[in-house]
Structure 1
Amino acid sequence: MGTPLGDFIRAKRDSLQPESLGLPQRDRRRSPGLRRADLASRAGISVEYLTRVEQGRDRNPSVAVVNALADALSLDPAERNHLRYLTKITGGECSAHTAPAPPRLHVRPSVLRTLRLLEPGIAVVTNRLGDVLARTSGYEAVTRGTGLLDTDAPNVTRYVFTDPRARTFFADWDGVADEQAFDLWLGPSIENHEWLTAELASTAGLDFTRRLNRHVVPPRGVLELDHPEGHRLRLLRETLELTDDAQQLVVFLPADAGTAQAVDELRHRSRGGLRSIS
């Protein structure tokens, strides 16, 4: 049985063309990408050992090997961080033999006070599983009528993969779906990850599972929304990691004058203040 670490290394190897790394072009192969022998040579490890890592038969590669593989695959900083994280959970440091359980949903009072200072801006506190834990009135204004906040416990990931309205609301639905699937790997614990993925795998189907297992680090560019009231919103995102809580505070800023005007119009039609489920 494979591991998240082995799956990621194999996926990156398959996505690389030898000539992009200065290697000679080989004869036509049955499988795409970089040969296992070429990656092993670049990383300074044996093909046999690389095979064991990719197949999940070696779950504890050393820091030196992990760094060598990152260099050999020409990973960018975000991909390197993901590789280190997958090494950690594959080695068992984040896993436990307990039943999966929902994540903690409490938001610290100081975080709520910070969020209140951002009113009437667009801001939200979520965890990596996509649970919307607290939000400003501005966030409610730009999501009103989309179905995202219709439930008592809204979850962005569940909404993206199970609500047909999400494919209209998010102009680049594929990009957002990749982001939400990737973030599940960064959940508060491996148990939390399994809890939500088990639910979504049965309802969202193969598309969700494919995105989850290919380990593509999303670029997270400008977020484009098609609001039901006819506005195209282009929003920049600034994220503050609340590491101790396994949560994040995300602030959305208009990327252009047209978006700023549209957001003002939506806010004026919406009433309300800070909302928190905790």
Structure 2
Amino acid sequence: MGTPLGDFIRAKRDSTQPESVGLPDRGRRRSPGLRRLDLAARAGISVEYLARIEQGRDRNPSAAVVNAIADALSLAASERNHLRYLAKITGDECSAHFKPAPPRRHVRPSVMDTLRMLEPGIAIVTNRLGDILAHTSTYAALTSGTGLLDADPPNVTRYVFTDPRARAFFPDWEAVADEQAFDLWLAPSAENLEWLTAELIPLAGSDFTRRLNRHELPRRGDLRLNHPSGHELRLTRETLELPADDQQLVVFLPADDPTAQTVEQLHRQSSGRLRSIS
């Protein structure tokens, strides 16, 4: 049985072309990407040891080995961080003793004060599962009529994968779906597993499970929205981590003048009240 760490290494090896890491192209190969022999040689480990890691038979590679594999694959900084994270949650010792608490749904008063200061901007507080815990009034106006805030509690991940309206609201639905599935790796907990198994996987199907298991780091560009009013909006996102709570404060900024004008109109139509869902 494989592990998240082994799955990620194997996926990156399959998607890495030899010439991209300075190796000659040896012509047709039975499998795509980098051969296990080449990756092992570049990392300075045996082919047998690399096979054990990829197949989940070795769950505790040292930090030196993990870093050597990252170097051999020429991973970007974000990919290196993900590789180290997967090594942490894959290890036998960690699996036995690491029992993270369920994600917090309470938003601290100081965070609520910060959110209040962002009015009339567009901002939300969310946890790693995609639960929207609090939001500004303009965010509510922006998503009105889309169904995103209809659930109790509203959850972006569930909305993206199970609500048909999401594909119309997000014109770049594929990219948004990639982001939501990947972010769940940052929220390991018993509650997360129960939520995935009992609710999300049966409803979302292969669109979700395929993304969850391939470990591809998403490219987070501007967020495009098809607003029910008929306007296409383009927003830049700034995410501020709240590590003490394992939450994020996400601020959405208009990326062009037409979006800024539409957001201003939506704000004038909204009630102007901050909303805490938790």
CA distance in 1, matches of 2:95, 2:242: 21
Does residue 200 in structure 1 map to residue 200 in structure 2? yes
CA distance in 1, matches of 2:16, 2:79: 14
Does residue 41 in structure 1 map to residue 38 in structure 2? no
Paired positions, count = 277
CA distance in 2, matches of 1:99, 1:240: 25
CA distance in 2, matches of 1:263, 1:3: 44
| Residue in structure 2 matched with residue 50 of structure 1 by the alignment | 50
| Residue in structure 2 matched with residue 66 of structure 1 by the alignment | 66
Structure 1 residues 222-231 or 192-201, which shifts more?
192-201
Deviations 1:196-221 (A, max 9, x none): 32121111001100100111111211
1:24 Cα deviation from its structure 2 partner = 1.4
Task: Please list, as runs of the form range in 1=range in 2, the aligned pairs for 1:120-131 lying within 5 A after superposition.
Answer: 120-131=120-131
* Preserved CA contact (<8 Å) 1:95 1:191: no
CA distance in 2, matches of 1:65, 1:209: 29
1:238 Cα deviation from its structure 2 partner = 0.6
Amino acid aligned to 1:137: S
Task: Please list, as runs of the form range in 1=range in 2, the aligned pairs for 1:108-119 lying within 5 A after superposition.
Answer: 108-119=108-119
Q: Secondary structure at the match of 1:225?
A: strand
CA distance in 2, matches of 1:139, 1:94: 39
CA distance in 2, matches of 1:269, 1:153: 24
Unaligned runs of 5+ in 2: none
Q: Secondary structure at the match of 2:112?
A: helix
* Preserved CA contact (<8 Å) 1:107 1:134: yes
| Residue in structure 1 matched with residue 244 of structure 2 by the alignment | 244
Unaligned runs of 5+ in 1: none
Q: Secondary structure at the match of 2:124?
A: strand
Does residue 5 in structure 1 map to residue 5 in structure 2? yes
1:99 Cα deviation from its structure 2 partner = 9.9
Amino acid aligned to 2:71: D
Cα RMSD over matched residues? Answer: 1.7
CA distance in 2, matches of 1:63, 1:156: 34
Q: Secondary structure at the match of 2:244?
A: helix
CA distance in 1, matches of 2:94, 2:130: 20
Q: Secondary structure at the match of 1:153?
A: coil
Residues 1:94 and 1:163: Cα distance change in structure 2 (over 3 Å): farther
* Preserved CA contact (<8 Å) 1:96 1:191: no
Give me the TM-score of the superposition, normalised by structure 1: 0.95
Does residue 82 in structure 1 map to residue 82 in structure 2? yes
| Residue in structure 2 matched with residue 191 of structure 1 by the alignment | 190
